[in-house]
Chain A
Amino acid sequence: MSEITIREALKIALNEAMEKDEKVFIMGEDIGEYGGAYAVTDGFLKKFGPKRIKDTPISEQAFVGAGIGAAVGGLRPVIELMSISFSLVAFDQIVNMAGNIRYMSGGQISVPMVIRAPTGAGVQLAATHSQSFETWLAEVPGIKVVCPSNSYDALGLMRSAINDNNPVIFAEPALLYGSKSNVPDEYFEVNLGDANVMKEGDDITIVSYGYGSKVLSDSAKKLEAIGVKPELIDLRSLNPIDYQTIIQSIQKTNRLVLVDTARKTGGIMAEISANINEKAGEWLDGPIVRVGSKDVPWPYNKSLEQEVLTDSNNILETIKISYGI
């Protein structure tokens, strides 16, 4: 067991995959000579050489598309986007090409590819660099979407993502690269699509993912201080969504709070809310409650940004008002 950062966990997973399988290669803007915008691939160029650590031009459409083509041609590319906000530039390739090509070809083609991208707000990068488009991408049937909140998940999910034969969007919370937690020394994987019950409790189920899961941990302490025992669920995967774990939890707690650090409107939590309502509404004693960041373009100013971003107080307030606790 050792305590490592999420950045280190990602490095371990990538390094291991590169060593194990010649077909794995990494490409993206400034991942080689520069070492990566968030330093995840720092040192890789020296170790693996330019054939397998490919610096790309600033051409998201072209290199994401080329990654898809390389995957179709039998390689296993790991593509880094500097920000998930930049995925918009490559959306056509991700959605129309990676997401649809298998279906349109009647299953003849698969796209074993990982797209890594930092996501989320909180580091004062303003509107164009702070969004969380993993929620949009989670709507596409042909691609998987995951997002770790700790080092164990970062390592285990990345191993599974690289081994998976489908396009996987791997969203990395920008605020958490330096966040530390324990990882066992033995090899393990985290199955894509399995949520994690972070903390057991009987009173109320609170669900989030990514940076939101960190916020949950903070709010749990505050809730416990007023005598409420929450059960915390980290989704880990936005597509597929582990409804079974959520439903099992609400069968015990009969209350559901959905927390998103992305903007509230049109996010993944709206989808989960609707689905739980349809699938297991009879288990609920009160309304499903959503907490999300405010529906504005992300502001630069620190206090404005913090005001927009979901925090543990927002969760506490919402629970108090909605459930009269």
Chain B
Amino acid sequence: MTSKQKIEKNKLSDDKYSKKSIKNLNSSNKKSLSTNEHLELFRKMYLIRQFENACGQNYANGNIRGFLHLYSGQEATGVGALSSLNDSDYIVTHYRDHGHALARGLDVNRSMAELFGKKTGLSKGKGGSMHLFDASKKFMGGHAIVGGQLPLAAGLALSQQYDNKDGITICFFGDGSTNQGIYHETLNLAAVWNLPILFFLENNMYGMGSSIERVRAGGLDFFPAMNTYEIPSMEVDGMDVLAVREATELAREKILKEKRPFFIESKTFRFVGHSYADGQKYRNQDEVIKWEQKDPIIIYPKKLIDMKITTNDEINDIKLEVDNVISDAVKFANESEEPSLNEIFDDIIAE
């Protein structure tokens, strides 16, 4: 087999999975969603967007400090992917983690409180924006060394394999982490050990200010390189929540059935700077505007209304409800207690 053929094979011969548009989706027989499921996807994406907007405001007014990386623009990817997982699956991600946390259903109040550094935060104010954790939901962070979370995820998958558990581990990472040695080491390890892990690349075309064109040999697509590791892979339109959901569902099934890893490359875009301090000198605003045309917060509900799955009123009701959730979360975070100074030495060593 030539390497090109092999790539095609690994890409999951059905090209329909690579670029599925919302328009076609209802015709997909087995995957058609109920109205409630559609609305829940929209609600989650809108929740994330509004959470991020609130974070921006509270960074500006000094309630949130440190580094703040917003997920705005990538909602369809996180929500699509996590909506198709279940309770037995582990989630591991990087520092741009608010979207994944909320998509997994982590408590909005405690997430916001963590960003405010409060005692009521998920990590009692010890982790901050980049290190969100909720072990009770198998949400294992929030990791801020680029690429460092990859083997952690492989190890969690190893524990699932070792104990013969049903779940998989999904590991999110950015295009920037693919130039770390640890990325290649982990892909290889997962492949030789047949680990039940879903490598989920959020290719938003930039690692901080570096476009992939400037820092990556081998072109703009990452999934074909999975051929090297014999990891089946596919590409998905990361601005299309249904396509991402379906791709992830399929990947999960394949991982459990074939007992080996899978790789998804989701092409997406962050609408905002890398972190709050970013003036975006490295990119042209035209590019941002072009991607904003695909904004899932606007496009998806519009499609749902066009397809008569929902109404404008229903969408507005959801927005109102979510806006209240967010303002309540900010209020909760604001009013929460600071951690006590006596807690400095807690949570270092386990009994």
Contacts and interface: CB of A to CB of B under 8 A. Distances in A.
Interface of A: 25, 51, 54, 56-57, 59, 61-75, 92-93, 96-97, 101-112, 141-142, 144, 165-166
Contacts of B162: 25, 51, 70, 75
Interface residues of B, number: 47
A65 B182 contact: yes
A132 to B, nearest CB: 23
Q: Is the interface of B mostly helix, strand, loop or mixed?
A: mixed
A61 B182 contact: yes
B189 A66 contact: yes
12 contacts: A62-B185, A65-B148, A65-B150, A65-B182, A65-B186, A67-B155, A69-B156, A72-B140, A73-B156, A96-B145, A142-B349, A144-B349
Contact of B347 (A61, A65, A67, A106): A106
B155 A59 contact: no
B336 to A, nearest CB: 14
A103 B185 CA distance: 27
Contact of B159 (A51, A70, A93): A70
Nearest to B145: A96
Interface string B130-148: 0101111000111101001
A73 B90 contact: yes
A14 to B, nearest CB: 18
| In the A-B complex, the 4 residue pairs with the closest CB atoms | A69-B155, A65-B151, A73-B159, A107-B347
A69 B153 contact: yes
B219 interface: no
Interface in B98-142: 121-127, 131, 133-136, 140-142
B290 to A, nearest CB: 37
B294 to A, nearest CB: 34
A11 B301 CA distance: 63
Interface string B337-351: 000000000111111
B152 interface: yes
B332 to A, nearest CB: 17
Given A108-B134, A109-B135, A166-B350, A69 B152 contact: yes
Contacts of A104: 123, 126-127, 131, 133, 141-142
B123 A108 contact: yes
Given A96-B145, A165-B350, A165-B351, A65 B154 contact: yes
B330 interface: no
A57 B134 contact: no
A106 B123 contact: yes
Given A66-B155, A72-B152, A73-B159, A103 B348 contact: yes
B188 interface: yes
A255 to B, nearest CB: 33
A99 to B, nearest CB: 9
Contacts of B90: 73
B247 interface: no
Contacts of B125: 106
B347 A62 contact: no
Interface in B186-209: 186, 188-189, 192-193
A25 B192 CA distance: 18
B189 A69 contact: no
B286 interface: no
B152 A65 contact: yes
A59 B185 CA distance: 6
Nearest to A164: B350
Question: Which of A51, A62, A69: most chain B CB closer than 10 A?
Answer: A69
B64 interface: no
Contacts of B93: none
Contacts of B241: none
A253 to B, nearest CB: 31
Nearest to A55: B192
Given A25-B162, A54-B193, A62-B185, 16 more contacts: A56-B189, A61-B185, A62-B154, A65-B148, A65-B182, A70-B156, A72-B155, A92-B148, A93-B148, A104-B127, A105-B127, A106-B125, A106-B126, A107-B346, A142-B349, A166-B350
